[in-house]
Structure 1
Amino acid sequence: MTTEKSKTPVKFGASFTPHMVCSRYEEGKGWTSPEITDAKTFSLMPAAAVFHYGQAIFEGLKARRNPQGEVTLFRAEQNAARLRKSARRLVMPEISDEMFLNALRLLLEKDGHLTPEASGSGLYLRPYMFAEEAFLGVRPADSYIFAIIASPMAAYFSDDNGFLKLWIADSARAAPGGTGDVKAAGNYASSFTAQLEAKKHHCHQSLFLDAKEKKYIEEAGAMNVMFVKKDGSIVTPPLNGSILPGITRDSILTLGRDLGFEMKEEPLAIDDVFAAGHSGEIVEAFSSGTAVGILPIGELVRKGADGQIETVHFKGADQSFPVATRLSKALLDLQEGKAEDKHGWVKTYV
């Protein structure tokens, strides 16, 4: 665990603060009040429903320090709303904004001093819920645990070139009518095969296509994606029920318009993106997410119909990626309290 004040760990998710928040739900009784405890293991029966039927959901958000040294959160109420949506989809008990935000405050009051001070770093917060009841019948569980843990973090990815390489996955992440637009734990487990395939081809992550036609770009394993055209417009795949509605994605759409960019939500066929990258019609690409912020995508790699490996490069003005850099600075300055928050997105917690 990380206990030294403001120390930034080298690797994301590898160290944790010494405390956590917990609450328990029981059918007919509701949720107990969230309580701060020492970080501890859970004692679960072998028949706990989470092990057998996968009722597990989570969120992710990052606490940051502003110039006054206060610890703040960015659009945390949106995480609360998305957790409720996930809970409804997996037939789990919902948590109110008040309970969710109070639980975050409890943990930050105890461990907020461990929030790293360096720009771009933060204290990653992981709220999650899982089915606790020991029962093998196929039905929603009657008891659940909600908890929040925290992990000081620097960068999610690091690369000597300063950009990501994404492998075009053969497998699908989600299908229409499924759980792709909520943060169900199983969504991420099913992406691991594609992640390993990406690593075999020296890529950081996989980029998934739609399940029906395997034609249209959806999202990466832990990120939404956007593409910058030569005319300056920025395009991202539309939310279609199988793409996670990223809070960072939504924020970028708003900030981009504030900065004068034409922001579009349009289907992006993978063949068209490769052709546009080769021709120079698409000049940049970048990913977005809570943990990653905004990171340039320098290369997309895929296996062609002939079995040969094809790579498209997004040079971004000789790999300076000016649009991604500008948007990243605007977003980070806002999140760290260095720019005017005209949308009221940042709230002080400690």
Structure 2
Amino acid sequence: MTPRPLPKSSPPHRVVAVLQPPQSTFSLACAAEVFGDHGPAIPARYSFEVSTGTPGPVRTQAGYDMLVTEGLDALRRADTVLIPGWQQPEGTEVPPALVAAVRRAHRRGARIVSICSGAFVLAAAGLLDGRRATTHWARAAELAARHPRVLVDPAVLYVDHGDVATSAGSAAGVDLCLHLVSADQGAAYAMRIARRMVMPPHREGCQLQYAELPTSGPVPDSLAPLLDWVAGRLDQPVAVADMAARSQVSPRTLTRRFTEQLGTSPGRWLLDRRIAATRALLEETDLSVETIAHRVGLSSAVNLRRRFHEALRTTPAAYRRTFRAGEAGQEPTGPPAPGRPLIQAGPEGSP
């Protein structure tokens, strides 16, 4: 896996999305919102464009056509090729021209990314053979049947191998795209994009897909007030028992609610937030590791280094050198390798 961070002085990372009729507008919008223009408040480090097999009007699922002027030749200059969905009927073959273009881009070193059912295109190109991949839970069985060499995981939100990445349903595409931005540009830059989109911090890939949700009415026993309470107290030694007491439930009931609503455990969610806060402070401040440890509730520099290395397979000092170097216009040495779960949580209550 080859991480590809970019210094601020480098040309924008070019993302090219390949559209196929009938195109899912939501999947496309998820990618465009992350990689597109965010105005002067956020420096542009990506350029986003669209292409298609036959330039011209591309029919969408929303009842209108999009005029796409670029053909598959656009993939030749892409740093990331993105397939935002594949809405063809079961058994439909991916066009050979698209398969060939995706393979060429991958051989050249471009990162190939799919959102939702776009994984069928990556599988047809042979890029997922012998590798874990995911797609929308409703099409996971079809993907496994059509491409038996792909190790389909229907439970997770996304899987990133560095050169190839797949996501679950369309909303999980936002999580994957923000994850890629974080790997490329650092957590602080990704968090600025998320705030601009009025999005919470992205979910980690190992969290569960939501196969069943309430069909109407408010979500019972919402965790939102608790999450806001915890987020404002990361500098304090909040444990799962404290979270359960705040919610006036048992730790077992709290764990069940986290699994149902967030697809993860309370301890893992809390540690994710502490690691995300650590990354942002390493990127944007000169605070010592000891000071950061106390600010994010990890108690000591020793504990922070251990947790950070478990999560990102690198040290706080190496991470800071990587992402602070870009501010000086120097070539970064590379972020922690993507393609593995970012957080390896300890036992419940251990954050």
**Shared fold per TM-score greater than 0.5:** no
**Which has the higher relative contact order, 1 or 2, with Cα contacts under 8 A spaced 6 or more apart?**
1
- Which protein is richer in strand relative to its size? 1
- Which protein is richer in helix relative to its size? 2
